[in-house]
């Protein structure tokens, strides 16, 4: 992974852990060349607002980005992005998003114009397929969130969020033993799980009292990962990294 990041510092985490090995070195270089401009943020910043016409898409290089929707005076977090995610590639087709993209904590992003994406997709259908895969993966995550929001009470919902982020960070080489580090705050978690800050405080207290997870200033410490996953009914299959949905060469260059 270190060698990849030396060669491709802006996009080396893109599809890592799932389909990175299906890309040729030429394709990896092409993806790296897509990023024509970068920007760094120290605090929350809206990088794309709902309904605004856009002619570029965003690669998340470092940090986290939230997908948010405002309804009345309330904000809802409908997605979280980790390094290596092409967070708004679907804006290439839609031109306007139905939600906001907001950085949290420190973040670094790269921008690529839609004209450049169009050229790459026209010239390289295999790479276009892999880019399409990354947007479909976002949709799979959204479906899982909807289902878990219906199935689980707040403590298990937030436990599921912890498990998912941990697995996604593992894919891109940013996981750590015993938990994960994030810039998330308690209010972000409440907005992800469709609950109030008060109820989220109770949910986090329950996880801590049961020895499942301890959330403090964005740091999530977990004494037993398997136990937390069982509690949250977390099955990483929907992330397309392993299990029945895991990629086994189906999208390699030699596959029609």
Residues carrying CATH 2.60.120.10, the chain: 2-125
Residues carrying CATH 1.10.10.10, the chain: 153-232
- pLDDT tens digit string along 184-211? 999 999 999 999 999 999 999 999 999 9
Do 16 and 59 meet the contact criterion of CB atoms below 8 Å apart? Answer: no
Q: At what angle do helices 125-151 and 114-123 cross, to 10 degrees?
A: 120
Structural class in CATH, domain 153-232: mainly alpha
- Nearest alpha carbon to residue 124 among 34, 184, 2, 187: 34
- Nearest alpha carbon to residue 30 among 111, 113, 114, 117: 117
Whole-model pTM? Answer: 0.94
Q: At what angle do helices 197-209 and 186-193 cross, to 10 degrees?
A: 100
Instruction: Please determine, for residue 169, whether its predicted confidence score (pLDDT) is greater than 80.
Output: yes
Give how far Cα 73 sits from Cα of 55, 69, 106, 200, Å: 29, 11, 26, 19
| Residue tagged 């895969």 (tokens) | 133
- pLDDT tens digit string along 213-251? 999 999 999 999 999 999 999 999 999 988 777 766 677
User: What is the Rg, in whole angstroms, of the alpha carbon atoms belonging to the chain?
Assistant: 18
Q: At what angle do helices 154-171 and 186-193 cross, to 10 degrees?
A: 110
- pLDDT tens digit string along 20-39? 999 999 999 999 999 999 99
Sheet holding 179-181, edge to edge: 179-181, 219-221, 214-216
Instruction: Please determine, for residue 2, whether its predicted confidence score (pLDDT) is greater than 80.
Output: no
For domain 2-125, give the CATH superfamily: Jelly Rolls (2.60.120.10)
Do 186 and 179 meet the contact criterion of CB atoms below 8 Å apart? Answer: no
């Amino acid at each position: 992974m270190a060698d990849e990041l030396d060669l491709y510092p802006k996009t080396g985490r893109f599809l890592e852990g799932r389909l990175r090995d299906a890309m040729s070195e030429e394709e990896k270089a092409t993806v790296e060349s897509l990023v024509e401009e970068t920007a760094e943020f120290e605090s929350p910043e809206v990088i794309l607002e709902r309904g605004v016409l856009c002619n570029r898409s965003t690669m998340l290089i470092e940090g986290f980005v939230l997908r948010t929707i405002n309804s009345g005076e309330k904000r809802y977090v409908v997605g979280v992005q980790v390094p290596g995610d092409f967070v708004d590639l679907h804006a290439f087709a839609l031109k306007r998003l139905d939600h906001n993209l907001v950085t949290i904590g420190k973040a670094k992003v790269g921008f690529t114009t839609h004209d450049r994406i169009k050229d790459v997709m026209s010239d390289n259908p295999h790479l276009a397929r892999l880019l399409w895969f990354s947007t479909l993966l976002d949709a799979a995550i959204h479906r899982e969130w909807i289902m878990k929001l219906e199935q689980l009470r707040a403590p298990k919902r937030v436990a599921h969020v912890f498990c998912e982020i941990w697995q996604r960070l593992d894919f891109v080489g940013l996981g750590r033993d015993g938990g994960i580090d994030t810039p998330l705050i308690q209010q972000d978690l409440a907005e992800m799980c469709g609950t109030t800050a008060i109820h989220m405080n109770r949910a986090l207290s329950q996880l801590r009292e049961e020895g499942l997870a301890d959330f403090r200033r964005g740091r999530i410490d977990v004494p037993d990962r398997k136990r937390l996953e069982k509690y949250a009914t977390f099955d990483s299959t929907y992330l397309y990294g392993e299990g029945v949905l895991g990629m086994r060469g189906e999208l390699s260059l030699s596959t029609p």
